């Protein structure tokens, strides 16, 4: 049996044995009552984790990665001739803009630099200059930089100017505090293999029911990812419009049970404690971070690569010891390394990771 690497990544993450074992499931027909009961349970647990009730909100699962949920929401929420404002300050904000371009949805971008904290006065100025903006979208925790974006503040602007608000919570969900009611969020999506501590991968959406009704007259731009189809099937009969990945529904249900048993606040605090320990150790070794700590997520840290080291040196030696990290992507390739601390990683493993890093940099002093 192969060894169990410790995943110091924002996803996939290490999960419990019980989450893995949930994939061994009794065979059921996906159009039978047994699946509807399974799905109903998953949807109820999702609402509990989001902290909302079924009177005003709905949750439903989409068969695909977080990008599938992103594409479904973006493609389904802007009327013909109206615009979407994308607050982009990293790779996944850029991805939402790219989806708009694919579907010919008129687009306004903030065009922040990667890792730049969004300027609220600039966002408000765009909302005033572009009255045809119907929806505003942003990433809660931008994985490419590790930045925690001001969802609540932007949600307040959306409330003030009567704009629909879309939040990508793929990497930050269950890792950092998020209140979709307080932040006036209309559509929020995430997936299984990050803060929820599930396996790859299906995604899910939490939607305000009144907001769904506002988009009902939009002509579908996509077949498989038509948001209204997933919503209607779920609401009417706890079903999916297409064949679901039944084992992953069992897995999601188990992961949500474990999250609810631990408690959302306790899960977030555990991640916060791990990240604080990680950053303290890294700082003591002489590493620097891309962001100031006040803008960092609990989930991960972008560490600047010293000028006298290469990313592969760290990756290879850490992997040899059973720890996996990820490189910066696109604009940040070769400049940073992603070090995350979610899933079931323990304080002991975080300390062991830091000790290995200490051995790596002992050969030559870190220089920036």
The pLDDT score that the predictor gives to residue 2 is 66
CATH code: domain 18-261 is 3.40.640.10
SS (H, E, C) 216-283: CCCCCCCCCCCHHHHHHHHHHHCCCCCCCCHHHHHHHHHHHHHHHHHCHHHHHHHHHHHHHHHHHHHH
CB 197 within 8 A of CB 15: yes
The Cα 335–Cα 319 span in angstroms is 19
Query: To which H or E segment does residue 336 belong?
Result: strand 336-340
Tens of pLDDT, residue by residue over 61-112, are 999 999 999 999 999 999 999 999 999 999 999 999 999 999 999 999 998 9
The domain locations on the chain are 18-261, 263-361
pLDDT at 363: 84
Q: Report whether 279 contacts 289 (CB < 8 A).
A: yes
Encode the chain (368 residues) as per-residue pLDDT tens digits: 467 899 999 999 999 999 999 999 989 999 999 999 999 999 999 999 999 999 999 999 999 999 999 999 999 999 999 999 999 999 999 999 999 999 999 999 998 999 999 999 999 999 999 999 999 999 999 999 999 999 999 999 999 999 999 999 999 999 999 999 999 999 999 999 999 999 999 999 999 999 999 999 999 999 999 999 999 999 999 999 999 999 999 999 999 999 999 999 999 999 999 999 999 999 999 999 999 999 999 999 999 999 999 999 999 999 999 999 999 999 999 999 999 999 999 999 999 999 999 999 998 999 99
Give 241's contacts (C-beta < 8 A, 6+ positions apart): 226, 229, 230, 233
Fold for the domain defined by 263-361: 3.90.1150
Tokens of 287: 């590493």
pTM over cut 0.95: yes
> Taking every pair of C-alpha atoms in the chain, what is the biggest distance, in angstroms?
64
Q: What pLDDT does residue 1 have? A: 46
**pLDDT, position 41:** 98
Taking the C-alpha atoms of residue 258 and residue 272, their distance in angstroms, rounded to an integer, is 18
């Amino acid at each position: 049996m192969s060894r169990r690497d410790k995943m110091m990544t924002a996803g996939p993450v290490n999960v419990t044995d019980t989450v893995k074992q949930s994939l061994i499931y009794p065979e059921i027909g996906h159009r039978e009552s047994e699946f509807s009961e399974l799905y109903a349970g998953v949807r109820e647990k999702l609402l509990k984790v989001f902290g909302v009730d079924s009177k005003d909100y709905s949750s439903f699962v989409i068969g695909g990665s977080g990008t599938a949920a992103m594409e479904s929401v973006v493609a389904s929420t802007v009327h013909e001739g109206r615009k979407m404002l994308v607050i982009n300050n990293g790779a996944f904000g850029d991805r939402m803009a790219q989806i708009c371009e694919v579907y010919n949805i008129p687009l306004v971008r903030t065009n922040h630099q990667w890792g730049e904290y969004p300027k609220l006065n600039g966002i408000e100025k765009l909302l005033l200059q572009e009255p045809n903006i119907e929806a505003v979208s942003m990433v809660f925790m931008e994985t490419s930089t590790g930045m925690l974006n001001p969802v609540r503040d932007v949600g307040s602007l959306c409330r003030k100017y009567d704009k629909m608000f879309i939040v990508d919570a793929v990497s930050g969900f269950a890792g950092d505090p998020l209140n979709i009611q307080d932040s006036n969020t209309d559509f929020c999506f995430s997936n299984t293999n990050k803060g929820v501590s599930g396996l790859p991968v299906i995604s899910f959406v939490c939607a305000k029911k009144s907001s769904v009704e506002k988009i009902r007259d939009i002509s579908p731009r996509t077949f498989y990812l038509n948001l209204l189809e997933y919503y209607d099937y779920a609401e009417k009969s706890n079903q999916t419009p297409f064949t679901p990945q039944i084992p992953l529904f069992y897995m999601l249900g188990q992961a949500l049970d474990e999250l609810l048993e631990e408690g959302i606040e306790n899960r977030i605090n555990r991640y916060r404690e791990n990240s604080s320990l990680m950053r303290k150790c890294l700082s003591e070794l002489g590493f620097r971070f891309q962001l100031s700590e006040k803008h960092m997520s609990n989930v991960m840290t972008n560490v600047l690569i010293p000028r006298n080291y290469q990313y592969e040196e760290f990756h290879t030696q850490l992997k040899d010891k059973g720890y996996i990290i990820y490189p910066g992507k696109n604009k940040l390739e070769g400049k940073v390394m992603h070090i995350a601390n979610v899933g079931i990683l323990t304080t002991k493993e975080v300390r062991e990771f830091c000790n290995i890093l200490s051995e790596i940099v002992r050969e030559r002093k870190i220089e920036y």
